[in-house]
Every structure is written in C-alpha cells, then in structure tokens.
Structure 1
Amino acid sequence: MLLIAILVLLPPGIGYANAALGLCVIAGVVLGWRERGGLRRDTGVRLIVELFLCYWLPALISAFDSIAPGKSWSTVGGLLRFLPFAIFACLGLRDARLWPRITLAIGAILALWLCDAWVQAFSGYGIAGASDKDRLSGIFGAKNLKLGPTLAVLSPFVLAAARERFGRAGLVVAFVFALVPILLAGERAGWLMYALVVLAFLWREAGSPLRFAGWSASAAVLAAVPVLVALHASPAFDARVERSLRALQGTGASIDYASSGRTRIWPTAWRMFEAHPINGVGVHAFRYAYARYAGAGDSFANADPDEGALHAHQIVLEILSETGVIGLALWIFGFVIAWRTWWRADAAARARAFAPALALAVMTFPLDTHLEFYAAWWGLVFWWLLALYCAALSADRNA
C-alpha cells in the first residue's frame, strides 16, 4: 500500500509523496536488516543495487569538483533514499500472486486521474481547481504542469489493466480514453511517449509484422478523430500544433520557436560537456553553470537560476553535461544490466514486468525531450518505476 500511496500523493505535491517515500525507506531498512542473511542471494535486491550504483555513482563522482558543490552534494545525499525504497519494493512484492492486483490498482488510480482530466476538459474545473489557460493541467493543478508526461509514462498500466480485465475491446477504449487528456495537456514529449506505448502494445497484440502494420494504420485512423476534434475545439491545442509545425520552415528562428528555446539550451549543454568531459559540471549544477557557457544573446543566461534553463531537457545531454563520460558509461552499463535481466527472465516474469518496463523505455527514449532525471520529482517517478520493474522480474509464485 505504501508504494501505491506514493502514486496517489504525487499530484498534491512532491512533499506528500516524499512522506510516503520516507515510510518506504524506513520499512526497507527494517526489512533489509531483518533479512540481511538472504539479501545477497536475492536476485531482485542484487539487480536493484547494481542499477542504483549505475545511477548514483555518476552523481557522486561529479560532485567532487562541481560548479555548485552545495547543490551537488545535497543531491548525492538525497539520492541515497532510493536504495532502501527499492529494496522495500522488491521484498514486499516478491509474491507473484500480488501482481495482478498491483497492476489493477495502479490502473484504477490513473483512470481516476483521466476521469478528472476529462471533466476539466469539458468544464474547465477539476479536483485541483481551474485548468491552466494554455494546457490541460488535470489533477496536478495549474501551477504544476506535469499531467501530460506523467500520464504518457504511466499509460502502460492503464492499457495493461484494461486489456487484462476487458480484453482487446477494453484496450481500444482505454487507448482513446487516455489519448485525449494527453493531447490536451500540450506536452509534445508526452505525445511521442504515448505513441511509443501504443506501438508497443500493438506489436505485442499483433504477433506478426504484417498484422502490426495493419493495426498501426487502424490506430492512426482512430486517433485522427479526437485529434481533429481537438484542433477545432481547443485553441490552445491548435496553437501547440501550429507552434510545432513552425519548425518545417527550416530557419533557425522558426526551429528555436518551435522547440521553445531548446535549440539554445542543447548547444550550451554540449559546451558544458566539452569543458568538463570527464565528470561534468556537477549533478544538479546545470542551472548554475548555464550563464558561463551560454551563447551570445541567450535570454536564459540572464535569468535567475530558479527560473531560467533549469536542465538540459534531454537525457543524454543531461548526463553528459552534469556527469560527463563517466556518467554516460555507467548509465549505459545500467541499461545493459536491465536489458540482460529482461532477456533472461521467463515469460511469466516478463508479463508481470511489461508495464513498468515499457514505462521506463519510453521515459528514457533518447530521441525525445525529457524532464530532469536527477531532480526530486522526476527522479522519484523514475525510481518508483525501476523498483516495480526489479520487483516484478524477481517475484516468485512460491514466495
């Protein structure tokens, strides 16, 4: 229940979710101590430790000569909480018989978020109050515009629960049910992530390349209906699409406008990496280093560190600029470990882990823009999914 509580408490604010996380950390320490004799033999715990080191060591190494040492070292210390949390998840969910209920519970919570988003789309108001004027903000509220990427990343749980409970008809309904709020939330990264999720489910259901191609075409036709309706019914969504299409003009100014200034942030992130190739400018130090590496006329360079370019907006550039080649090498090693574990797992374990695995895959898809993986909020979502992934792969029906 504590793991589910983290998801429930994400919308009100990171402080509430961290309170639930703190209880998980305490429980993880207690469980780990009580079962310390068998921890080394537990495959899930070993996987968690390996993946945690691939995530945490880059931050630790980057902090020694960080441009903002106080910020980096506090981040390094704060990240330690994810290890006992993930161990708690692994030990608490090792009974494979729990997993259908876990997936269903997560799917039900997300379905409530989606219902609230639909109500807000029609009325302008939801549980968290009035929507943002430019984007659907849903249960996260107008001051915390994270609905789009969060729904997109967690959508595998909604689709998986619908497929398991209602078959393919339920999967189709869930696809449209989640599509509209994700579109109206206005996060283009979320659009791409959701498209990847849908393609993965289509591939899983189709079973052959020819059938996959046909079903993908059918899904595109089905998606076109709500997209066209949204273009005519939502001026904010229409403006978001128009802004994206401006990139087709091919000029530097149009591409910068379409990318919301990302074309200024990404070269600056690369210059940080060139200046600090080994271990980067320091974890969470991007915003403090930005001004000294920004190009001429970059408006982000003159902004307050808490209001300007806060992070690289791209996972590879975030890792390179903040943790250098050491960080990238360790992250790649972590991906190899996670993929190898998936490859060696049996069919039942893969079925349990499918939703968190797919969520992690689209969350870290390198040809997209991203939130900050070493930040408190997105880092928590990342480790919540990673803990579920490790626990699902290592669960045992005889536990």
Structure 2
Amino acid sequence: MLPLPGIAETVLGLGAIYAAARMVQLRLQGKQRMLSSPAWALTSILFLGYWLPQAFSAFDAIDPGTAWRKTAAGLRYLPFMWLVAIAVGTPERRALTLKGIAVITGIWTLDGLAQAAFGTSPLFWSMDQLKWAISGHGLCPPAEMAAADRLSGVLGPCNLKFGQVLASLSPFLLFAAAARFGRWGWMVSAAALGVVLVLAGSRAAWLTYALVLVFSGWRLLGARTLLACVAMGLVVAIGLGVGSSQVRERLERTAMAWEGESDGVNQALSGRAQIWAAAGCMIEQHPINGVGARGFRDAYPECNPRPEAQEVWGDGPALHAHQILLEILAETGVLGLLLWLAAAAQAWRAWRFAPKAARERARPAMLALAVTVFPLNTHLAFYSTFWGGLTLLLAALYAGSLLASEAPTQGDPAQTVPRGAH
C-alpha cells in the first residue's frame, strides 16, 4: 500500500484498531496473549522511544495545535506495532510475512528495471490509469511528472522516495534469495537491486545498500568473493553513471565537496549544509525538548543562515533536518535523543542476550532497521507519516522475530489444531 499513502494510512489505522480490540478481547477471556511477553515489552519500548519525544516536544512547540494533533495520532502506532509483531510471532506466520515482503521487494525491483528499460513503471502506470478512470485525473500533477529527475519506480514521480524505501527493504529479498537459491540467488538479486538503486539516484540509498551488501554478503560469500562482487558492481555503477545524465549529475554534484569551499560543500550536499546549520541554531535555542516534532519547517526561517540566497532545493523552507540525530535534537531536544538512545539500547540488549536461533530468524529485520537508522547518513523525516510508519514497521518486525514464542499461542486461529488431528 505504500505507493498509495492515503490507502496505506487507512489500512494501518484499521489494523491498529483490530489489534487493540482483539488483544483486549483475549485478555478479558483469560486466554494467553497472541504475542509473547518479551516481544510485547520490546515492541512497546521501541514505540515509547519514538512517541514520548514527540509528546514531550509538544508542550512548548512552535505550533502547539499541530504538535498535539500529531502526538495523539501517533498513538495508533502502538497497536499497529503489536499487530506486526504478532504477524511474525510463530514460524508459519513469520515465513508468510517475511517471504511476502521479499516477494513485494522483488516485484518492485523488476518494475524498476522495466522503467529503466522502457521509461515507465508498469505498476505506477497501471495505478495512474485506474485513478484517471475513477476521478478524471492522475496520481501526480503533470508538472511533477515532467520534473522527475530520477527513476521513481512504483512510488511515482511525485513521491521520489523509491531509492530509500527499496534500500531499506533489500535485506528481506537478499536473505530470502540466499536461503532459496544460495550464493547465486544472492548475487543475482543484489545485482538487480543495485542497478535499480543506482538509477534511482539517491545517494543516501547508495550508502544504505552498501551497508546491506557488506553485512549480508560477508557471511555468505566470504571476504574475497564479496570484494570481487563489489568491484564488479562499482564498474557497472560507473558505466550506468556514464550513460545516465541523472546519475552523472549526482556524481558531479558530489565531487563539488572536494572544491574546499563552503558553497561547494553545500551544493554537493544538495543544500543540506545550510539545513544542518539551521538545525544547529534550533538546538541552541531549544535544547531541552526541541521546536516540536515536524516543527522544523516553522522554525527554519528564523534560523536560516543565508536568508538572502536562493535555496538549492528550490522555493520554500526546509521541511526537516535530513539527518536523524539533527532531526531528533532539533525537533525533540536532548530529552528526545536520550529516549531514542534508551530504546536503541534495549533493542541491542535483546539482540545480545538472544539465542543464536533467534538472532538468525531476526537477522533480515535487524539489518533493515539498522541501516535505516544508521546515523552516518542522510535521512528522510522520521516523524513524517510515510517514513515514520515504515521505520516502526521494521522495528516491530525485528522485535517480533527476535522474541517470538515458538510454542502455539491460545487465541491464534493460525495455530488451532482440529480435535483428533494428532
């Protein structure tokens, strides 16, 4: 549902209501929970590490009304995360869910290759035609359709997040391909994903995917084979860069950082140096609990270090800090960062003390979550509906997979055994 944000939000909300009602019903009936106690605890802790900073930042936010509305709406993520953890709580459900995510990622990858070859994403084109038939207009305004400067995939040219989404989901496809087809399955899938991600043009996605390749390929291929694959991939990436004007433009922009001047660095970072300076101003002015979650755009004009200059990204203020640590500090302050770190510490502690079998089954979700929040990268807005929802989805998949109870649970229809079946 991610390519259709409105429908995706509706599904998320309905899933959250169902999960909350079902868990209360089972509790009142005195039946065992559908979710193991450790998985329930870690999922709730990870939610609180995300939501409490948002709540504390709303008390003196720049726009209190919006901040409190978003804080209240954020409560839906808790039962949603429980539902996601339930979905990977038993071997049968976990196999269905994780393989399903791998299949979706694979289909989106093939769709991206089709767009690279023919100029149009078949999946997005199909949805766009359906939208035209229903409402008389498309999913994207014509101006945004024409202005798209990279491969946009199934998300379309008015939602240019395809590279980051595909890179974050790539561990599910790579681990599934390796389990089903061995080393060759991993290498073919890695190559297909790599081509699409290079053409998608997001440098943040390139770094994310590089981390995925290293940590997923090291154990499977060994150091020498992995280095050989990486070298071959770099050759292919350079070839794509030469042949693609969009990729070439991003490589040229990156090279501006070596000019040694602040303006060159700012251009190389697509204006992020200016945004990060503004984030530093917000942190200095609101160090305790920040300017409010999603309040960056409102605080930016006052903290803009170069208000007289034309913005690199175009008209309008910067919408977020484009870096997870700066976003947390600017929007939720030191208090928010401490809460995020406390949740991360609990996630790491759970991994450290989990048995080997639990770590193996949680490895795809762990890697997907780790590379998504990797701090030495640029990021989308973690307190936005789109990226925040995807991040919490990965967090719940991790907690549910790692701390799943392998025994059948009462109240779980998938685990009901007919009488006499034994």
TM-score, length-normalised on structure 2?
0.87
Matches within 5 A, 1:108-147: 108-127=103-122, 128-129=124-125, 133-147=148-162
User: Aligned partner of 1:372: which letter?
Assistant: A
Spell out, residue by residue over 1:330-387, the C-alpha distance to the aligned partner (whole angstroms, 9 max, x if none). 0000100001111111122212211111011111111100001111000110111111
* Residue 35 of structure 1: aligned partner: 26
**1:298–1:168 CA distance, 2 compared to 1 (3 A):** farther
CA RMSD of aligned residues (A): 2.0
| Structure 2 runs not aligned, ≥5 long | 126-144, 409-422
Spell out, residue by residue over 1:194-234, the C-alpha distance to the aligned partner (whole angstroms, 9 max, x if none). 0000010123325xxxx42x234212222023212212221
- Give the 3-state SS of the residue equivalent to 1:271 in structure 2: helix
* Residue 142 of structure 2: aligned partner: none
Distance 1:310 1:144 in 2: 15
* Residue 95 of structure 1: aligned partner: 90
Distance 1:297 1:283 in 2: 23
* Residue 69 of structure 1: aligned partner: 64
* Residue 319 of structure 1: aligned partner: 328
Matches within 5 A, 1:154-303: 154-205=169-220, 211-212=222-223, 214-297=224-307, 299=309
| Structure 1 runs not aligned, ≥5 long | 1-8
- Displacement of 1:132 in angstroms is 6.0
Distance 1:159 1:302 in 2: 36
**1:216–1:159 CA distance, 2 compared to 1 (3 A):** same
User: Aligned partner of 1:351: which letter?
Assistant: E
Q: Is the 8 A contact 2:301 2:307 kept in 1?
A: no
- Displacement of 1:155 in angstroms is 0.3
- Give the 3-state SS of the residue equivalent to 1:35 in structure 2: helix
- Give the 3-state SS of the residue equivalent to 2:186 in structure 1: helix
User: Aligned partner of 1:266: which letter?
Assistant: W
Q: Is the 8 A contact 1:119 1:125 kept in 2?
A: yes
**1:253–1:125 CA distance, 2 compared to 1 (3 A):** same
Q: Is the 8 A contact 1:132 1:141 kept in 2?
A: no
- Give the 3-state SS of the residue equivalent to 2:225 in structure 1: helix
Distance 1:118 1:344 in 2: 41
**1:135–1:303 CA distance, 2 compared to 1 (3 A):** closer
User: Aligned partner of 1:25: which letter?
Assistant: A
Distance 2:96 2:86 in 1: 17
- Give the 3-state SS of the residue equivalent to 1:368 in structure 2: coil
**Does structure 1 residue 51 correspond to structure 2 residue 70?**
no
Q: How many residues are paired up?
A: 384
* Residue 78 of structure 2: aligned partner: 83
**1:234–1:303 CA distance, 2 compared to 1 (3 A):** closer
User: Aligned partner of 2:63: which letter?
Assistant: A
Distance 1:159 1:267 in 2: 38
Tell me which moved more, 29-38 or 147-156: 29-38
Distance 1:362 1:57 in 2: 23
TM-score, length-normalised on structure 1?
0.92
Spell out, residue by residue over 1:36-55, the C-alpha distance to the aligned partner (whole angstroms, 9 max, x if none). 35559711111111111111
**1:110–1:298 CA distance, 2 compared to 1 (3 A):** farther
Kindly report structure 1 stretches of 4+ aligned residues shifted beyond 4 Å.
37-41, 130-133, 298-304
* Residue 353 of structure 1: aligned partner: 362
Give the one of 379, 383, 404 matched to 1:395.
Answer: 404
Distance 2:362 2:85 in 1: 12
Larger radius of gyration: 2
Tell me which moved more, 174-183 or 81-90: 81-90
Distance 2:90 2:297 in 1: 43
- Displacement of 1:133 in angstroms is 4.5
* Residue 2 of structure 2: aligned partner: 10
- Give the 3-state SS of the residue equivalent to 1:74 in structure 2: helix
- Give the 3-state SS of the residue equivalent to 2:307 in structure 1: coil
**Does structure 1 residue 380 correspond to structure 2 residue 395?**
no
Q: Is the 8 A contact 1:315 1:370 kept in 2?
A: yes
- Give the 3-state SS of the residue equivalent to 1:80 in structure 2: helix
Tell me which moved more, 115-124 or 93-102: 93-102
Q: Is the 8 A contact 1:90 1:394 kept in 2?
A: no
- Displacement of 1:300 in angstroms is 7.3
Distance 1:248 1:260 in 2: 14
Distance 1:299 1:65 in 2: 30
Q: Is the 8 A contact 1:103 1:160 kept in 2?
A: no
